[in-house]
Structure 1
Amino acid sequence: MARPQAWLYLALGAALLLALWFGVRYLGDLDSSASGPRRHHLELSLHDGVHRGATVFRVNQGDEVALTINSDREEALHLHGYEKHIVVEAGTPTTLRFDATLSGRHRIELHRNDSTLCFLDVYPN
């Protein structure tokens, strides 16, 4: 009789560990998004019209975004999907603030040559 009880305790322990792992892995994410929108401060640095930083910025739908652009020359940028346009003066950091309401992948590009600098990925909640 001792052997079946040992297997029962082992199975119950394994089930408990699996439930704990599932709770931490999946339900923990739900709790953090339920706490409300997060604030993101993203930075884009341009040198001669080229961005050498992150190619993709990731946020969640509903998050507050502040995108600060630094450039060594005057540039005009466009955030597709949101239809946000911003002119950046040379040597003057300029910040574009918006709420990430539209899910999907959105291009951030230079106006003068329509080149893509990077992407903003907005994940749905």
Structure 2
Amino acid sequence: MTDLARRRLIAWVAVAAFGGTAAVAAAASTQSFSISIVGGRVKGDETLKVRKGDQVRVSLTSERPMMLHLHGYEIEIKVEPPAPALLAFKADLAGRFPVHVHTHGAGNHRAVLFIEVHP
């Protein structure tokens, strides 16, 4: 291989590597949602859809205090009215993940919301 061919090959590999990195970085984004829980139910869409690699930010409000648990990611947050609670994570696992209410007695582990992470 000539010196010129070697330099061209190195330049091509560098451009391809940088372009691939830029494409991955461009594909990941921040997805923000605002969810209101009234009477134990989500007002609006009960399924949030994001892509693997996204940063996810879900602002949650409720008229009563509750503990929420995002299964699969093992994240718990406490919602204390009137302030919103923030559920934030990087969507690095693909699948459909329920957000359950953790209470004592009836309604324990009832899913109020689903987060779908698509490949």
TM-score bracket relative to the smaller structure: 0.7 to 0.9
Over residues 44-68 of structure 1, what are the superposed CA-to-partner deviations in whole Å (9 max), with x where a residue is unaligned?
Answer: 2111222122121110000000011
The equivalent residue for 1:118 is 113
| Identical-pair percentage | 34
What's the TM-score once normalised by structure 2's chain length? 0.72
Over residues 33-82 of structure 1, what are the superposed CA-to-partner deviations in whole Å (9 max), with x where a residue is unaligned?
Answer: 66231111112211122212212111000000001100111010010100
**Cα RMSD (Å) of the superposition?**
1.7
Structure 2 distance, partners of 1:85, 1:46, is: 16
Q: Which runs of structure 1 show a deviation greater than 4 angstroms over 4 or more consecutive aligned residues? A: none
Deviates further, 74-83 or 43-52? 43-52
* Matched letter for residue 111 of structure 2: T
Structure 2 distance, partners of 1:44, 1:75, is: 14
Structure 1 distance, partners of 2:37, 2:24, is: 32
Unaligned residue ranges in structure 2 (runs of 5+): 1-22
Unaligned residue ranges in structure 1 (runs of 5+): 1-31
1:52 maps onto 2:47 in alignment: no
What's the TM-score once normalised by structure 1's chain length? 0.69
* Matched letter for residue 65 of structure 1: V
After superposition, residues 1-125 of structure 1 pair within 5 angstroms as: 35-112=26-103, 113-124=108-119
Q: Secondary structure at 1:77's aligned position in 2?
A: strand
Q: More helix per residue: 1 or 2?
A: 1
